[in-house]
Amino acid sequence: MFQPIVDLLRGEVIGHEVLSRGPGEFREPHVLFTQARLEGYTWELERACWTSALRCIATLPEAQRSAPFFFNVSPDVLSDPRFGDGSTEELLARYGLNPKNLVLEITEKAAFEDNALLQRLTRQCSALGFGIALDDFGAGHSGLVTLVNSAPQFIKLDQALVRDIHRHSYQQHLVKSLVAFAASVNATLIAEGVETWDELAVLLRLGIRHAQGYLVARPSPVPVQPSVEFEARRHEAMRALDFREDEDDDTVGSIVIRRVCVERAMTAEELERLFQQKADVDHIALLHGERLEALVLRRLTATKGAAQAAPLIVEDRMALTTLARLAMERPPEALYDPVAVTDAQQRFLGTVTIQQLIRRVTELLERHTPA
């Protein structure tokens, strides 16, 4: 079974978690894997689940195969000598995949008693190309220790931290601090088990960018995209971020500037010449009527021709402090790219640079600082 993980800002699927279901009374995974552990067959069961999932992934279109697949791996299996003896890579190669297509989810619910061993194993897996995720963060007793020793690229918040978060301010403060921590160590924070729009709205406000759960899509025998209905509601939830939380806050529209804009029919060579003629131009907006098609960034033209970027797009009513959180959640290579701004009808208004944003947010903070 596959369940998508979605980028809430763009509505794009960034990966799929691979889930296992057993027959009959063993349909629930915790029942299935608990019984396997009691019988001493954890390795055999996990390897069988991996083989079945990889066989399915191998039949997918190439575009779908490139998205990372998140596989749960227990401490017993990760520390088993057979995991690192080359057989795992051989299994992937058999189905035309390689480790960079996979993220290993280490669950925090299962204790990993040897911290030095955990650190060594996760480093070895990273060196082979596997991504590392800490699953169920906040559910166990050793979360911070496991976090430090595994240094994951992905941190998946346990659903206990997500459930009814709109009702509990303490939960909200905790998640907000985790958003800041994840950004500081360049880890992707994913909210698991999101089931209601109230939960999603609060998570968005706190700076959560990625989510997984029944609200997004239920597990399916093949990878799926979120429904059209979800996408429409997601867009509405994003628009709800437009309103200022503080009367002294400011909106994105107050600093937006309409810079160089051209019609999308302009060729790559023409765009290149335009950059050469205008040394002060950092980016160019490609438009189709009043709609933004793409941003062309000067920093990309040197190596990729007039490359088109998929920018962060927000509406002009969004609070500046909210935009600051969202902008810092972007991948490292896009962290300082300009932000595109539209009105409520998705008509392009202009862009905001990170320099503008930092300067204005700093002014707002200074305004609130006691003399």
Kindly give, in sequence order, each residue whose CB lies less than 8 Å from that of residue 133, ignoring residues fewer than 6 positions away: 70, 103, 104, 105, 106, 152, 153, 154, 155, 156, 190
Give the other-Cβ count within 10 Å of 135's Cβ: 26
pLDDT of res. 347: 92
Per-residue pLDDT of the chain (371 residues; tens, 9 = 90+): 899 999 987 788 999 999 877 666 666 766 777 777 777 778 888 888 888 888 999 998 887 888 899 998 887 788 888 887 888 888 888 888 888 889 999 876 655 667 788 888 888 888 888 999 988 887 665 567 778 778 889 999 989 999 999 999 999 999 988 888 887 788 899 999 999 999 999 998 888 889 999 999 999 988 999 999 998 888 888 776 655 555 556 889 999 999 999 988 888 888 888 988 988 898 999 999 999 988 999 887 655 555 566 788 888 888 888 888 888 878 788 888 999 999 888 899 999 999 999 999 888 877 766 65
What domains are there in the chain, each with its CATH number?
2-241 (3.20.20.450), 252-368 (3.10.580.10)
Whole-structure pTM value: 0.72
Kindly give, in sequence order, each residue whose CB lies less than 8 Å from that of residue 131, ignoring residues fewer than 6 positions away: 68, 100, 102, 103, 104, 153, 154
